[in-house]
Chain A
Amino acid sequence: MRKLLDGHNLEDRDWLFGLMLQSPLFNPRERGGKVFVLPDYNQSMEQQREMTLKRIQYLSERGVFTGWLTSRGIESELRMLAFIDVLAIFDHSLSIKLGVHFLLWGSAIKFFGTKSHHDKWLRDTENYVIKGCFAMSELGHGSNVRGIETVTTYDSKREEFVISTPCESAQKYWIGGAANHATHTVVFSQLNINGSNQGVHAFIAQIRDAGNLCPNIRIADCGHKIGLNGVDNGRIWFDNVRIPRENLLNSVADVTPDGKYLSAIKDPDQRFAAFLAPLTSGRVTIASGAVYQSKIGLAIAIRYSLTRRAFSVTPNGPEVLLLDYPSHQRRLLPLLAKTQVSQQLLLYAMSFAANYLKMIYVKRTPESNKTIHVVSSAFKAVLTWHNMRTLQECREACGGQGLKTENRVGHLKAEYDVQSTFEGDNNVLMQQVSKALLAQYIAAQKRNKPFQGFGLEHMNRPCPVIPSQLTSSALRNSEFQTNAFCLRERDLLNRFAAEVSQHQSKGESKENAFLLSYQLADDLGRAFSDRSIFQTFIEAEATVSDLPLKNVLGLLRSMYALICMEEDVAFLRYGYLSTNNAAAVRKEVTKLCSELRPHALGLVSSLGIPDAFLSPIAFNWVDANSWSSVKN
């Protein structure tokens, strides 16, 4: 099961888990006869930041980062992504700090820059000779990157760019690494050449030298946060900072020494899209991280519920295990199914993303595949939301124990809350997904051609029919489940297109029409995501021949499908399911819960998270709390 779910680089992951377990830097403690590792979140903000850096230095010395930026090929790309997964399982701050340095700063050099940048910066980045950060967000602009206010002009006499922060809302904000440690940054800024604004471009600037701030750079701390205090987020002001012309990251556009702007891509929208395409891998790692945290929460809560008892149901009988209550099963097992099923799409996306990055490294064109960008936005939104919901449920399922920081579950909520708004606000992303689907719809209609791409090919087939009577076996049938997902997506896309068009016919602009139809856009984004995730899982399930495993996968799949149907009001609102159908679905979910119950322990054991990275309540929590453990 682990091979199916974790997918890649299992031995590499085990090695990295081992590196963390064997060093005191990762704060090992014994509880109830087992060793656990977890950062000490009771330390001050400054101490936590220092520990993060110390851990990074240790990992660097052990060769963990070798080849992350300087090797060619998918292998090192996949290993890097696997390692970031593993490090996030230990501590979010650690993975974020590394993500900023390697996946933001490092990727910017690799994908926004060209050979001279690679030669100059990649090796030093990999060896942590320099510490990079990524100055994109501003106080006044986050999700809307194109609206940022930092402005850069060109001085052709000195062949230098001049970067400045023209007003307070233009200060760079939330820049991980900037407050204490970073030496260099990629600055995103509007580029004004000869009075013309050429749009957002990226430049390299040094911000610290031998521990001191460089001239004309001002930095302030973002301050204490509700989580992630191991990351030193800073605010940056540029006071006419001068950088050499070569510091423009010029893979998509360039400026000649005498100040002429050049780009192979004429259309500024396309140019911007091509420019930012590499950031897709960031979305993939965030989504992957979200799935792993859900797994941690569920592993802890489910294991706890297999040893914790509360209330008897017979007089003089023993108290009942939490997970033997149907209601407790209903709270946790569907979330487990959703997590496992979503993982498949992530694996597919990981390898797709790695391949995609390789592709655009070699050749950057405007036709760079839009699907991966839309898909990664969709499931970043869906999976980070799923994660927050899962962690809340798991915290509650652990009762008071869920409040102890060392039990992890509750603390993870604060640590991961940021995921729903960074790298693109989830609501904005879902709107973008719907916009892209609408564009596909309109294009297909206009050219009178079949749907292609985004998995929308099902739109070309006749409309699926849902039987009015659904038996248990019908409900578990994968064809019925696929039909239900496709029907919802199809109908919502049609309705959405119709509503937008209706607004437009009343005189609204295309943009306004779109904004007014936000409810359907939201429903559609969800429909698309659920269907994509489902489809990828079915494909994976089909490759499995081992019967017991196939049986469990089938249960998970049905649970995923039916819980989506039970929870999304759209199925009833738009009549994809009759009220009888909906009642049958609900009943079947309860049945599935009791069938999954015996597999619960096996499932959480195969999640690929070593015991030491869970928490004491997942194991012998009575011994962990004994008086003798206090005395020692």
Chain B
Amino acid sequence: MGSLSLRLVSSRDQEEQEVVVEEKSSSFVRILTLNRPKQLNALSLQMICRLWDLFLAYEQDPNVKIVILKGKGRAFCAGGDVASVVRDINQGKWRSGAEFFRKEYMLNFVMATYRKPQVSILNGIVMGGGAGASIHGRFRVATENSVFAMPETALGLFPDVGASYYLSRLPGFFGEYVGLTGTRLDGAEMLACGLATHFVPSARLSMLEAALCKVNSTDPAIISAIIDEYSQQPNIKERSAYRRLDVIDRCFSRRTVEDILYSLEREVIDKEDEWISATIESLKKASPTSLKISLRSIREGRLQGVGQCLVREYRMVYHVLQGEVSKDFSEGCRAILIDKDKKPKWEPSNLELISDSMVDMYFSKVNDEEFEDLKLPARSNLPVSAIAKL
């Protein structure tokens, strides 16, 4: 067997440890492990920068054909380090917060347009920024331990990291459901709706990794066939949301958040339904502002390319950080992540108080000298005409 070599450069000890790089000898595969298990591998700015450097270097390196990304411990990655962003905002340092998102979205874009296959092993929690670092890649391997969610509406944010692109492309209106309720999906559900490309039982992961390390090609068909060999067809659980697509399509296709809630409530007027009631509950607990901007974000994202989505989301996140319309992001992080009382006081406190023009503000061009729109790098694998200018 090839020997394991860990690159350790002493002055960057700290950063290196957060992302561990493995390169088995005579292999064209690089294995990156997110290594902050105590924080469930939450992405820090340093990790994002390191991943950026690695991904760009590997793209140019003819000795690298496949990049595998996985997480240490029971999580793949629970999200971006938003708590530190909120600390920055509360100290009036919105620019640092914006910088975090900027680097994160740039990384998301590189992954979405990467010329070589990225295989993410989602053997655990994959949420928020963790989804952003994996779903855009070519292959997403779910296991029986996978737990996916985009929980941002409960935090006063909105599903970002290009989620307006990938959620909007899930079947029917499942994307609206997942994005607005922040619901959790297991590996089987991820495979069914397309968030995952394969399902491999966790017991077979090391064999899969070994097989991939023998590959000498970037051809996605070959890689897919190898993963297929270790794959399994999982069963969707009895009470899965994925068995309720008819209700989801009926209700989450409605034009506004109010209409969505109203149609869900109509469904349970004459008959009880635990799942629908739970769905209504999660909508009612979320930040009303977040719900409105998330819905619009997903609807617009459905019609845009991934680059346009990220540029738009970056503007939206600027407005969130500024807190001109609502400071729900600070309040959400306080209640859920910092004080952990789980009782956020949203302001505006209900949907009726949020007008269309307030929502418009989140989508508007930014008139701030200190802000620059996200400048995505030109990616040569796409014809120029594929990336439309705004």
Which residues of A approach B to under 8 Å, CB–CB? Answer: 11-12, 14-15, 17-19, 21-23, 35, 61-63, 303, 306-307, 601-602, 605, 610-612, 618-620, 628
Instruction: Check if B172 sits within 8 Å of A23, measured CB to CB.
Output: yes
Instruction: Check if B303 sits within 8 Å of A619, measured CB to CB.
Output: no
Instruction: Check if B171 sits within 8 Å of A306, measured CB to CB.
Output: no
Bound: A303/B385 CA distance, A: 6
Q: Which chain B positions have C-beta within 8 A of A17?
A: 302-303
Q: Which chain A positions have C-beta within 8 A of B172?
A: 22-23
Bound: A620/B387 CA distance, A: 11
Choose one: A303, A610, A620; the contact of B303 (CB below 8 Å): A610
Instruction: Check if A22 sits within 8 Å of B303, measured CB to CB.
Output: no
Bound: A268/B168 CA distance, A: 57
Q: Which of B349-390 contact A (CB under 8 A)?
A: 382-386, 388-390
Cβ of B221 < 8 Å from any Cβ of A? Answer: yes
Cβ of B24 < 8 Å from any Cβ of A? Answer: no
A22 with B173: in contact, given A11-B296, A307-B385, A605-B389 (CB under 8 Å)? Answer: yes
Instruction: Check if A63 sits within 8 Å of B385, measured CB to CB.
Output: no
Instruction: Check if A63 sits within 8 Å of B255, measured CB to CB.
Output: yes
Q: Which chain A positions have C-beta within 8 A of B383?
A: 307, 619-620
Q: Total interface residues on B, using CB and 8 Å?
A: 25
A611 with B305: in contact, given A14-B299, A63-B254 (CB under 8 Å)? Answer: yes
Cβ of B265 < 8 Å from any Cβ of A? Answer: no
Cβ of B253 < 8 Å from any Cβ of A? Answer: yes
Question: B384 → chain A, closest Cβ, in Å?
Answer: 7
Instruction: Check if B253 sits within 8 Å of A612, measured CB to CB.
Output: no
Cβ of B300 < 8 Å from any Cβ of A? Answer: yes
Bound: A620/B302 CA distance, A: 19
Give 7 nearest A-B pairs by CB, closest first: A605-B388, A610-B303, A306-B385, A307-B383, A18-B302, A303-B385, A602-B389
Q: Which chain B positions have C-beta within 8 A of A15?
A: 255, 299
Instruction: Check if A612 sits within 8 Å of B303, measured CB to CB.
Output: yes
Q: Which chain B positions have C-beta within 8 A of A601?
A: 384-385, 388-389
**Contacts beyond the supplied A21-B302, A605-B388, A610-B303: 11 A-B pairs with Cβ under 8 Å:** A14-B299, A15-B255, A15-B299, A18-B299, A18-B302, A63-B255, A307-B383, A601-B385, A611-B303, A619-B386, A620-B386
Instruction: Check if B253 sits within 8 Å of A22, measured CB to CB.
Output: yes
Q: Which chain A positions have C-beta within 8 A of B390?
A: 605
Q: Which chain A positions have C-beta within 8 A of B169?
A: 35
Question: A412 → chain B, closest Cβ, in Å?
Answer: 20
Q: Which of B141-174 contact A (CB under 8 A)?
A: 168-169, 171-173
Choose one: B171, B249, B385; the contact of A619 (CB below 8 Å): B385
A-B contact pairs, 7 of them (CB 8 A): A14-B302, A15-B299, A17-B302, A22-B302, A303-B385, A601-B384, A612-B303
Q: Which chain B positions have C-beta within 8 A of A11?
A: 296, 299
For B382, the closest partner residue in chain A by CB is A620
Q: Which chain B positions have C-beta within 8 A of A12?
A: 255
Q: Which chain B positions have C-beta within 8 A of A618?
A: 385
Bound: A11/B382 CA distance, A: 29
Bound: A307/B302 CA distance, A: 24
Q: Which of B168, B172, B253, B303: most chain A CB closer than 10 A?
A: B303
Q: Which chain A positions have C-beta within 8 A of B250?
A: 61
Q: Which of B303-322 contact A (CB under 8 A)?
A: 303, 305
For B381, the closest partner residue in chain A by CB is A620
Q: Which chain B positions have C-beta within 8 A of A62?
A: 253
Instruction: Check if A628 sits within 8 Å of B221, measured CB to CB.
Output: yes
Bound: A595/B176 CA distance, A: 43
For A321, the closest partner residue in chain B by CB is B384
Bound: A605/B255 CA distance, A: 25
Bound: A11/B253 CA distance, A: 14
Question: A610 → chain B, closest Cβ, in Å?
Answer: 4
Instruction: Check if A19 sits within 8 Å of B253, measured CB to CB.
Output: yes
Q: Which chain B positions have C-beta within 8 A of A22?
A: 171-173, 249, 253, 302
Q: Which chain B positions have C-beta within 8 A of A35?
A: 169
Q: Which chain A positions have C-beta within 8 A of B386?
A: 619-620
For B174, the closest partner residue in chain A by CB is A22
Q: Which of B168, B221, B389: most chain A CB closer than 10 A?
A: B389
Question: A3 → chain B, closest Cβ, in Å?
Answer: 11
Instruction: Check if B385 sits within 8 Å of A14, measured CB to CB.
Output: no
A14 with B389: in contact, given A63-B254, A306-B384, A628-B221 (CB under 8 Å)? Answer: no
Q: Which of B173, B255, B382: most chain A CB closer than 10 A?
A: B255
Question: A208 → chain B, closest Cβ, in Å?
Answer: 29
Question: A34 → chain B, closest Cβ, in Å?
Answer: 8
Q: Which chain B positions have C-beta within 8 A of A21?
A: 302-303
Q: Which chain B positions have C-beta within 8 A of A306?
A: 384-385
Q: Which chain A positions have C-beta within 8 A of B389?
A: 601-602, 605
Q: Provide the B226-249 mask, 1 if CB < 8 A to any CB of A, else 0.
A: 000000000000000000000001
Q: Which chain B positions have C-beta within 8 A of A612?
A: 303
Instruction: Check if B303 sits within 8 Å of A14, measured CB to CB.
Output: yes
Q: Which chain B positions have C-beta within 8 A of A611?
A: 303, 305
For A22, the closest partner residue in chain B by CB is B172
For A13, the closest partner residue in chain B by CB is B303
Question: B117 → chain A, closest Cβ, in Å?
Answer: 14
Question: B64 → chain A, closest Cβ, in Å?
Answer: 22
For A608, the closest partner residue in chain B by CB is B303
Q: Which chain A positions have C-beta within 8 A of B249?
A: 22
Bound: A18/B169 CA distance, A: 10
For A19, the closest partner residue in chain B by CB is B253
Bound: A19/B299 CA distance, A: 10
Question: A41 → chain B, closest Cβ, in Å?
Answer: 24
Q: Which chain B positions have C-beta within 8 A of A63?
A: 254-255
Question: A157 → chain B, closest Cβ, in Å?
Answer: 51
Question: B92 → chain A, closest Cβ, in Å?
Answer: 31
Bound: A303/B383 CA distance, A: 10
Question: B275 → chain A, closest Cβ, in Å?
Answer: 21
Bound: A307/B383 CA distance, A: 7
For B360, the closest partner residue in chain A by CB is A11
For A623, the closest partner residue in chain B by CB is B383
Instruction: Check if B255 sits within 8 Å of A14, measured CB to CB.
Output: no
For A66, the closest partner residue in chain B by CB is B255
Question: A447 → chain B, closest Cβ, in Å?
Answer: 49
Q: Which chain B positions have C-beta within 8 A of A605?
A: 388-390
Q: Which chain A positions have C-beta within 8 A of B384?
A: 306-307, 601
Q: Which chain B positions have C-beta within 8 A of A23?
A: 172
Question: B193 → chain A, closest Cβ, in Å?
Answer: 12
For B359, the closest partner residue in chain A by CB is A11
Instruction: Check if B296 sits within 8 Å of A18, measured CB to CB.
Output: no
Bound: A19/B171 CA distance, A: 11
Question: A215 → chain B, closest Cβ, in Å?
Answer: 40
Question: B221 → chain A, closest Cβ, in Å?
Answer: 7
For A603, the closest partner residue in chain B by CB is B389
Bound: A588/B169 CA distance, A: 46
Question: A359 → chain B, closest Cβ, in Å?
Answer: 27
Question: A49 → chain B, closest Cβ, in Å?
Answer: 25
Q: Provide the B163-197 mask, 1 if CB < 8 A to any CB of A, else 0.
A: 00000110111000000000000000000000000
Instruction: Check if A18 sits within 8 Å of B303, measured CB to CB.
Output: yes
Bound: A555/B20 CA distance, A: 55
Bound: A14/B312 CA distance, A: 15
Bound: A22/B296 CA distance, A: 16
Bound: A611/B307 CA distance, A: 14
Question: B195 → chain A, closest Cβ, in Å?
Answer: 16
Bound: A21/B172 CA distance, A: 8
For B259, the closest partner residue in chain A by CB is A63
Q: Which chain A positions have C-beta within 8 A of B300?
A: 14
Question: A5 → chain B, closest Cβ, in Å?
Answer: 15
Bound: A602/B388 CA distance, A: 7
For A602, the closest partner residue in chain B by CB is B389
Question: A329 → chain B, closest Cβ, in Å?
Answer: 16
Question: B215 → chain A, closest Cβ, in Å?
Answer: 18
Question: A457 → chain B, closest Cβ, in Å?
Answer: 37
